[in-house]
Amino acid sequence: MESSEELAGDLLTLHGRIRRTLLTGKADEVTASQTAALGRLLRHGESTVADLARAEGVRPQSMGATVQALVDLGLAERRPDPDDGRRTLVRATDTGSRAREDAWATRTRVLAERLAALPEDDRRTVARALEILTPLTEA
């Protein structure tokens, strides 16, 4: 049986391979960091750049560039904070929401096609693995 460290390494390797597989057919110009920030805005609502940076574990300057790229693409917009005029809030636009949904649908379709090619027993094993692995991401 593999050690926890070996399993962790194998899991990270698989994660990278899945990610690269899904990026192969990517048709938009949105980077991974932009996708992550947009996803956070859609899940949690508007935010400051500093709060987004903290949540994503990056420097505020890096997140500022990421947010500016999203604004330039029309996927997010900035507005003054009504409670504190010194702050600016960022939120996803309707265009950003649709782009995220379209990208999700494309990635889901690619994985679904590959999963459909597996024997039924293997698909059940994947489903069971997800049940086991999901709690690892919940803190």
Q: Is the pLDDT of residue 91 over 70?
A: yes
pLDDT band at 27 (very low <50, low <70, confident <90, very high): low
Domain limits, the chain: 28-137
CATH code of the region 28-137: 1.10.10.10
| pTM of the entire predicted model | 0.75
- Supply the pLDDT for residue 55: 94
DSSP class of residue 58 equals: S
pLDDT band at 96 (very low <50, low <70, confident <90, very high): very high
What is the C-alpha to C-alpha distance for residues 3 and 9, in angstroms, rounded to an integer? 10
Q: Is the pLDDT of residue 36 over 80?
A: yes
- Supply the pLDDT for residue 139: 66
Q: What percent of the chain has pLDDT over 90?
A: 71
